[in-house]
Structure 1
Amino acid sequence: MKEKQPINSITNVNIGKQGWVDHISKNFNEEVGIDISNIPVCVFNVPKSISRFKPEAYVPQAIAIGPYHHFETHLYQMERYKVAVVKAFLNPDQVRSFGPLVIERLKKIEPMIRACYHKYLDLDDEMLAWIIAIDGLFLLDLFKHYGEMEPYIPKRLLHYDTLYRDVMVLENQIPLVILNELQMIINGDPDLLPMLIGFCEVHSPLKLTRDSSYSIGDTSYLHLLDLMYHLIVNNESHKHDSLETCHGERSNVMHNVPKKDHIIRGHMDEIIEMGQKLGKIRKFGKAISVMVSIPWDKISNLLGIQIRDKLDEEGDDHPRAIEINIPSVSSLSKYGRINFIPTNGGIRDAKFVSNEATLYVPVITLDTYSDVVLRNLVAYEVATSSSTMELSQYVDLMSGMIDTEEDVMLLKGKGIIEGNMTNTKIVEFFNGMNKLNESVKSNEIVEQLNEYYNRRLRIKVWKYMKKRMRGSRKVLTIVLTILACMLMIVYSFCEVYGCPKLFNKVT
């Protein structure tokens, strides 16, 4: 009888019970004397709770880097091109002695390689060493000859934007400690970070810190995505001024709310204007209360009308993104009279100045695959227990404020959003970003914005009217149905008996 296949298998090969025993006993004997306690797990699987809204953004499209996606058939066609790049990267002597020079060296540190990956790798030492060797050296050549891959990978086979996009996927990372080892083996030079920083500067959607002091052979950064993450989060213009409040102690939990009702909010001006024309809001409110108190459910049942809420019609088949409770950019600007100004720094420089009614936010550049980079950065931050969740909070803020293309156009006009991504794609991206961790607490920006916005007289009037008109959609549907029925009755009567005064007809 066939053994049951291991869960989360890399190669989908059944090693069997005896194979498992041999593998474990071999590791037990060989790992004696090899200390991996200081090797952090840094290449994680993206959990479904994060990837469910756009799973394709968290997996490679064209090329596998590392063991997680190496044996997926739609990616395997790129293997010969990776080999061609690696052979061109090495000198002839290194190609001839590749086995003892690279593979044997990697097999000696195999426990350290496995320790970097969160997922169990059911690969033997030889296979794992070859995967890491080819993919690691391919990355080194990519960073060294950035933008010059034409001789080895034709554009008709792989667009270079897709290649750079796949390199930033969390499950496609190769730990920096391994890349440094390969760099030492081939070039005798461990100074790898300058190349990686240059790559991050081109592909980061947010500005990076200029304070990137490091020592030669520095392995404090775990991999390329970790490097970009820290360069983004640590970008701060003024570390000792009033901006400290933007990243100080966080005490208020963001409230989860579904996407706003754009139709109701879109008619806000008309509703407020109607209330102002009536003059006395309280009397108007009493009239509405009387209308709402009528048993419209019973009336609708008698008329045979079924009124269902839009949310009920949609059901729960499709996951719904949850966002923080904050007005949209257009609402903040139009009704709250809040201005938006780009900062010269990073996400820690974001702040709201109430006496200026101004929100300062960093510039974000959104190009073809910037959404993939941001999604994987946030996924990595969530997976890292030691992270401060600052990037997630920034993305939550932007997702809460951006609901429509009007919001995007306003931020583009202010110079806060740049790049060639279309307005529609930007809206889809931010509206598809779920608030990932309910325990994440807000910085003061959200609280200050909501407090300032809700103090506005116009907003108070709107909230009052919205509360009183909670059942207005149901009332309106039934009233219009009754009026339509009455008009049909009157029309039918006049067709038979004639209504000269009503229709100006001469009988």
Structure 2
Amino acid sequence: MLNLKFIGLFKEISPFKMMEEYPTIQVSKSAHLLDFLYHMIVPNILEGQDTIEVEFKQGEEEEEGNEESNADFSQLPWKTVSNLPGFKVLKQPLEYLFSQNGGESENSSSNSSLKNKPPSVEEITVPSVTELLNSGVRFLPTNGSILNITFDAKTCTFYLPTIGLDANTEVFLKNLVAYEASVASGPLVVTRYTELMNGIIDSDEDAKILREKGIILNHLKSDKEVANLWSGMSKLLRLSREPLLDKVIEDVNKYYNGRMKV
């Protein structure tokens, strides 16, 4: 009965409304409600596949020893963050990336360190929806979750899950991103998804196109609000590598950069 209630709640508040199948999750094995909601989107089968590397974009420097609580997870003092359950798995890569020189370790001269270094902004950039559309790419909705995102180079089709955006979506996704960073033992899938959406939506025109294609179900006031939502989603967390979505980004860039007009 509790499992059915949790699934019902997920269907009600999850922005991914068109999922055809839901993973089988035992409520008794979920740490709490947020843990359950997260694994409805990212099944346990993906955990432990790859090593996680996260880049934190630091804002203003905080005074050392400042233990004052902060509602923004990304701005929590390092001592507090490092003590979160499950965060030990991230400790080494985060300490490597938290240095003041932009995330470079003192020992980053070795080839292995350079290889594992998080990609720069340029390396994760993807063309906008408008640019892709003008280069011949079609956008089609898929009845699934983040794991169903694909790009078919043969048919020039970009498949993205249908997502409903309303006043609660940003809060829902930000909670998943924060929780994912603190406990996940595999790729930060939700974080990478927000980076992808932020990358392809640069303007209200991009948001409008995805809305007209049925990929975005906009319950906000305007397409501009949709663009603003994605641009503000993941300014502080960025995953270095995530096999599923990184392959899609690579394929999209390869197609776009190979066009004669580009």
Structure 1 and Structure 2 fold alike (TM over 0.5): yes
Residue number in structure 2 paired with 1:206? 16
Query: Comparing both chains, which one has the higher relative contact order based on Cα–Cα distances under 8 Å and sequence gaps of 6 or more?
Result: 2
Q: Is the 8 A contact 1:366 1:418 kept in 2?
A: yes
**Helix, strand or coil: the match of 1:352?**
strand
Aligned to 1:426: 226
Q: Given the alignment, which residue of 185, 188, 202 partners 1:389?
A: 188
**Does 2:203 correspond to 1:404?**
yes
Partner of 2:90: none
Q: 2:164 aligns with which of 365, 388, 405?
A: 365
- Aligned-pair CA distance for 1:209: 6.4
Shift of 1:437: 2.9
Cα RMSD after superposing both structures = 3.1
- Counterpart residue identity of residue 14, structure 2: S
Contact kept, 8 Å, 1:209 with 1:232, in 2: the verdict is no
SS at match of 1:403: coil
Partner SS state of residue 29, structure 2? coil
Q: Match for residue 451 of structure 1?
A: 254
Whole-angstrom distance in 1 between the partners of 2:137 and 2:236 = 24
SS in structure 2 opposite 1:458?
A: coil
Distance 2:22 2:142 in 1: 17
Is 1:219 the equivalent of 2:28? yes
CA distance in 1, matches of 2:22, 2:219: 28
Q: Pick from 230, 233, 240: which aligns with 1:439?
A: 240
Amino acid at match of 1:231: M
| 1:332 matched residue in structure 2 | 132
Q: Which amino acid aligns with 2:144?
A: G
1:16-38 Cα offsets, whole Å, 9 max, x none, are xxxxxxxxxxxxxxxxxxxxxxx
SS in 2 for 1:399: helix
Distance 2:252 2:30 in 1: 35
Equivalent-residue separation in structure 2 for 1:364 and 1:227 (angstroms): 19
Distance in 1 between residues matched to 2:54 and 2:127, nearest whole Å: 13
In the TM superposition, what is the alpha-carbon distance from 1:192 to its structure 2 partner?
Answer: 2.1
The correspondence of residues 263-342 of structure 1 with structure 2, limited to 5 A, is 324-334=124-134, 336-342=135-141
Residue pair 2:16, 2:145 contacting (<8 A) in 1 also: yes
Distance change (3 Å), C-alpha of 1:435 and 1:363: farther
Over 3 Å counting, the alpha-carbon distance change for 1:211 and 1:416 in structure 2 is closer
TM-score (norm 1): 0.34
The answer on whether the counterparts of 1:381 and 1:387 sit within 8 Å (CA) in structure 2 is: no
The one-letter code of the counterpart of 1:453 is Y
CA distance 1:385–1:347, change in 2 (3 Å): closer
1:43-100 deviation per Cα after TM superposition (whole angstroms, max 9, x unaligned): xxxxxxxxxxxxxxxxxxxxxxxxxxxxxxxxxxxxxxxxxxxxxxxxxxxxxxxxxx
Distance (whole Å) between structure 2 residues aligned to residue 214 and residue 393 of structure 1 = 23
Q: Does 1:229 align with 2:59?
A: no
Q: Which has the larger radius of gyration?
A: 1
Write the distance in 1 (CA, Å) between the matches of 2:204 and 2:258. Answer: 26
Change (3 A) 1:221 1:254: closer
Q: Is the 8 A contact 2:30 2:36 kept in 1?
A: yes
Deviation at 1:214, TM superposition (A): 5.1
Runs of 4+ in 1 over 6 A off after TM superposition: none
| Cα separation, partners in 2 of 1:413 and 1:380, compared to 1, 3 Å | same
Query: Which structure has more helix as a fraction of its residues?
Result: 1
2:212 and 2:231 map into 1 onto residues whose CA distance is 20
Q: Is the 8 A contact 1:250 1:444 kept in 2?
A: no
Contact 1:209 1:231 in 2 (8 A): no
Do the aligned partners of residues 199 and 385 (structure 1) sit closer, same or farther apart at CA in structure 2, a change above 3 Å counting?
A: closer
1:195 and 2:10 matched: no
Q: Which runs of 5+ in 2 are unaligned?
A: 56-120
**Shift of residue 233 of structure 1?**
2.1
One-letter code of the match for 1:204? S
**1:203 is aligned with what amino acid?**
I
SS of match in other structure, 1:341: strand
Deviation at 1:234, TM superposition (A): 3.5
Between the aligned partners of 1:254 and 1:354, the Cα distance in structure 2 is 29
Distance 1:209 1:390 in 2: 19
- Judged with a 3 Å threshold, the aligned counterparts in structure 2 of structure 1 residues 250 and 355 are, in CA distance, closer, same or farther, namely farther
Counterpart CA distance in 2 for 1:222 and 1:416 is 32
The change in CA–CA distance for 1:419 and 1:444 in structure 2 (over 3 A counts) is same
Unaligned runs of 5+ in 1: 1-190, 256-321, 460-507
Counterpart-to-counterpart distance in 1, 2:239 and 2:142: 28
**Partners of 1:446 and 1:345 in 2: how far apart?**
18
What displacement does 1:377 show? 0.9
Distance 1:404 1:352 in 2: 22
1:250 Cα offset (Å): 7.6
Pair 1:444–1:213, CA change in 2 (3 A) = closer
